[in-house]
Structure 1
């Protein structure tokens, strides 16, 4: 079976789509997959689905949703519903645990690849790290849980996944810079800047990539755009590290050691 959360919730077995069509049932399954192999209490599920104001019939309705999910999993795998209840979607006290093997869910696979890439970066094996991070990021299909109404817990889970995606994207740009693959670094940094207009590090990455490509004016313009946006919208200037990068890039004879350490060594 395959359970995917790096995008809309998606559950498949033998090519068959098992994702519930009923919104509340899909929401229950999404939270169980998001917290796979961990107990999710009945109160947590009720509060997620009914926004902390569950009706008197909510517990019965939840039991119905759990039963329907178990039947769907059983039908897709040829197992009995009782076997699913005993081994897959298990009642644990006043809660439920969805048991998944690591290779059944895209999230652990993604996290394993990112961890592998970070180890490669520490060993200065940037070329391999770039490819590993590319494979990890290719697993993403869109915004996490985009096809589910998100209560407080799924909202928090989605934020965690967004942050892991952002961190992996930043790591890949750093790896591209180390590999001197500057045009690719520019393209990926431009996309991140568009999605994160106040994120200083991704702007600094774009500045470094542009400068290393011989496009100093464009790199300086990125800084000015960030400074105006932060000053006008947030009332704060860019951080000293970003300002220092800008200052060094302004110089006709810049500190090459600083630029090299920042990953902005030029093509010359």
Structure 2
């Protein structure tokens, strides 16, 4: 299997341990894996460098990663219908509930969130124009958002990078490249496509969307410490803001110093911006009409 920056092979060692060997054209930040594993535990693969002077002289770096059990969510949920989607979301919320890294996230806002937001605002992309007022509003809120706890955040949380077992329980989160800790919920802008999905060039809200989405948030809040949960519930408006900010940062991605966006996600963005988490909306629907 070949990725954007790597070629990947699966290998079985003489002790029958299965590993993933990657040859990459860019160095892998192993600290990201260590931080995530320290918080989330065994669902994060161990990752180590395999130094090789000859390869590195050619601009190639080798790594060995633990091969985790389970199938990609994309394949593992096949045939399990609505119940499968709900079960995965519930399990994923439980896993991510352990993502606390610190009581505030000022450092992450300064080094990651603010530069990304400023890059979007400075971008010449025509798609940005209609959302500049919204983006500027979030720029003004960053000092408040930085008071949220620092949390493990996956850059590309999707049905390929989540591994599940036959019971639709999460067994692994893979591909942590480009991931950095963020304020709580800023890394959860993908909630739309965890409980729903893109299909046929459109964002689709399946019948089980709200059941799955509520299960995710319920498990997320239930699994964290009582102290952290109390702090977040007392500042639930900030959590709501963080989710929408995360959605904007996801839609207007920033890679290699350039801001980009996808046609399908741009089409869905007006709907995404009406989203409210269950703790804010109560019994009302997730999206405003």
- Whether TM-score is above 0.5 comes out as no
| Larger helix proportion of the pair | 1
Q: Give the structure, 1 or 2, with the largest relative contact order (CA under 8 Å, sep 6 or more).
A: 2
Which structure has the greater CA radius of gyration? Answer: 1
TM-score, length-scaled by structure 1: 0.29
| Larger strand proportion of the pair | 2
